[in-house]
A = this chain, B = another copy of it.
Amino acid sequence: MDLPPDAFARECASRVVLDRIGDRWTVLIVVALADGAIRFSQLRSRIEGITPKVLTQTLRALERDGVVTRTVFAEVPPRVEYELTELGRDLLAPIDAIRIWAEQHAARIVANRGRYDVAADRLRARS
């Protein structure tokens, strides 16, 4: 199977990889790692609303993919740091572009939603 990669194809590897982006926390975590190594609890407090369990899960998946590294320091109290690999840094650029897009257009999108919902309500009222 040396076909050109096609994310639209169900079984294509790139599709499998895309599924990882399509999770609620990956984008935020990768962006949070943009500035270099960071500890578990720092991540946790930076990303509002994430629970330790889900943070661990997502970090493990990212580590498995080779996007982040996990380094345990034999100290007490324990310290664990996460850092983007080169692969992860390659991913950072497009992901951060999305974050920026979201922040730039958020207000407009929320407004769009409001207008859409009002219009939908009107339609329903007429039927």
Where the two chains meet, the residues of A that have a C-beta atom closer than 8 Å to any C-beta of B are 5-10, 12-19, 21-28, 31-32, 46-49, 63-67, 87, 90-91, 93-95, 97-110, 112-113, 116-117
Contacts and interface: CB of A to CB of B under 8 A. Distances in A.
A18 B91 contact: no
Contacts of A49: 10
A28 B9 CA distance: 10
Given A9-B48, A23-B22, A97 B101 contact: no
Contacts of A63: 116
B95 A98 contact: yes
Contacts of A18: 27-28, 98-99, 102
A116 B64 contact: yes
B95 A14 contact: no
Given A22-B23, A101-B90, A112 B5 contact: no
B112 A65 contact: yes
